[in-house]
Amino acid sequence: MSDQDALQGVVSSFTMQRTPLYDRHEALDARIVDFAGWAMPIQYPSGINHEHLAVRQDVGIFDVSHMGQLRVRGPDAVAFLRWSTLNDAGRLRLGRGQYSMLPNDQGGLVDDLYLYRDGDDDFLVVANAGNVEVVDRHLRSLAEGFDVELDDESEQWGLVAVQGPGAALLLERLAGTDLAAVRKNQTVDVAIGGCAVRLARTGYTGEDGFEAFVAPADAGAVWDLITEAGAIPCGLGARDTLRLEAGFPLYGHELGPDTNPLATPFAWVVKDKPFYGREAMWGVDPGQRLVGLRLAGRGIARQGYEVVDERGAPLGEVTSGTLSPLTREAIAMAWVRTSHAEPGSELAVLIRGQAVAATVAVPPFYGS
C-alpha cells in the first residue's frame, strides 16, 4: 500500500467543523474523515457493505447535519427562485419539497438543491455542505431588484436521514403518528421524545425514508431514540454507494460548473421558463451524455478514468464508480459521446491501462 492511501481517513479532526452528533460518531468508533471541512463518519465498524444492505433491507440512519440551509423569504421569493433555480418554485405547494439546481451563466451548475416551501413567501433551500457559502453568495448576487431576504440558517438545523423500507414504521412508532398519508416530498411536523421534528419524505438512497430536521440541541436525543429503535448508523461511504446504485448525482462528480444538466438523466429538473444563465444552457448540446455503466469485470471504474470505444478511441470520462454492495456488480456513471449513449451501447473503461468492457445502462442498478 502506498503511504498516501493509508493516510486517507486518518485525518486530524481538530480544525474541522463538528455536527451536533459528532460525539455519537466517536462513541460508536466511527472512522472520521474530513468532508468539505466537516468531521464526518465515513463508516462505522461494521463496514460500508453492512450499512448499505441495512438501508436496502431494513432501516439506516445518516447524520447529514453538515448540509447547509438557507432561508429565502419575502414578497418576491417565488419570482426570485423561479429566476435563480432551474425547477419551478412556483409549482411547489406548501409543505412540500422539490429537487432543483442552481445554474451559473456558463451553462453549468453552482450546486444542486432541495427546496421546501414553508409559506407562500417562505422557502428553505438545502445545499451541499461544501457549497453553502458559494450558494449564499451566488443567490445574494442575483437578489438585487427582488424583494427577498436571505438568511443562512445552517447552524440552526441538525439533520438526520432515516432511510429504508422500515423507516416509516419505525418513525410512526416513535412519533405516535400515522405517516401513511405523508406523500413523497411532503413534510409533516411531529414530536419524537418531546423534541420538535420536521419530517420530510425525501432521501438520497433510492429507498423510502424521511429526512428529519431538528434543533441542534435535540439532535442527539432524536438520534438515540431512532438508533435504539433499530436504525443502523450509516456513514458517508454507504451514502455514496446507495446514491450511486440508485443513479442519483453528486455535485463534484456527475454535476459541476461545466455540466449541462440537459445532457443528464436529470434534465427533467430544468423547466422551460426564463432563468439565469438560460442562453448558455438551453439548446446547447455538449455532444456528450451522462449515462450509467455496468462493467463486465469487477475492477472499479473511478472518477476520471477514461471511457473508450472498441478501437480505443476516447468517448468520455467516468464520474463515479463502485462495486454494488447489493448485486456485487461493478457500476459507474460517466460522460460519453452521444453516439455511444443509448442504453445497451458497448464500450470500455480503462482501469489502470486495461480496457474493461462495459454496457450503457439506465439506473437504478438494482431491482427489477
Partner 1 sequence: MHTPDTLRYARSHEWVSAPEDGIVTVGISDFAQDQLGDVVFVELPDVGRKVAAGDALAVVESVKTASDIYAPLAGEVVEVNASLEEAPEAINEAPYEGGWLFKLRVDDTAAWDELLDATAYEAVAETD
Closest to partner 1 by CB, 4 vs 368, is 4
Burial 97-114 (b: 16+ CB within 10 A, else e): bbbbbbbbeebbbbbbbb
Between 46 and 106, name the residue whose CB sits nearer to partner 1: 46
The nearer residue to partner 1, 241 or 259, going by C-beta atoms, is 241
Report the C-alpha gap between 299 and 143 in whole angstroms: 47
Considering only the C-alpha atoms of the chain, give the largest distance between any 2 of them, rounded to a whole number of Å: 64
Which is nearer to partner 1, 50 or 73 (by Cβ)? Answer: 50
Identify the helix (H) or strand (E) that includes residue 241. helix 236-246
SS3 of 60, please? strand
Shortest distance, position 75 Cβ to partner 1, whole Å: 48
Nearer to partner 1, 162 or 295 (CB): 295
- Min dist. Cβ of residue 300 to partner 1 (A): 5
Q: Cβ(163)–Cβ(209) under 8 Å? A: yes
The least CB distance from residue 48 to partner 1, in Å, is: 5
DSSP, collapsed to helix, strand or coil, labels residue 295 as: strand
Q: Alpha-carbon distance 213 to 174, whole Å? A: 15
CB of 127 to partner 1, least distance (A): 25
Residues that bind partner 1 (CB under 8 A): 1-3, 5-10, 31, 42-43, 47-49, 237, 241, 298-300, 302, 322-323, 325, 330, 352
Cβ distance to partner 1 smaller for residue 5 or 272: 5
The CB-of-50 to partner 1 minimum distance in angstroms stands at 8
Minimum distance from residue 111 beta carbon to partner 1 (Å): 24
What contacts 178, CB < 8 A, 6 or more positions away?
172
292 CB-near residues (< 8 Å, 6+ apart)? 247, 331, 332, 333, 360, 361, 362, 363, 365
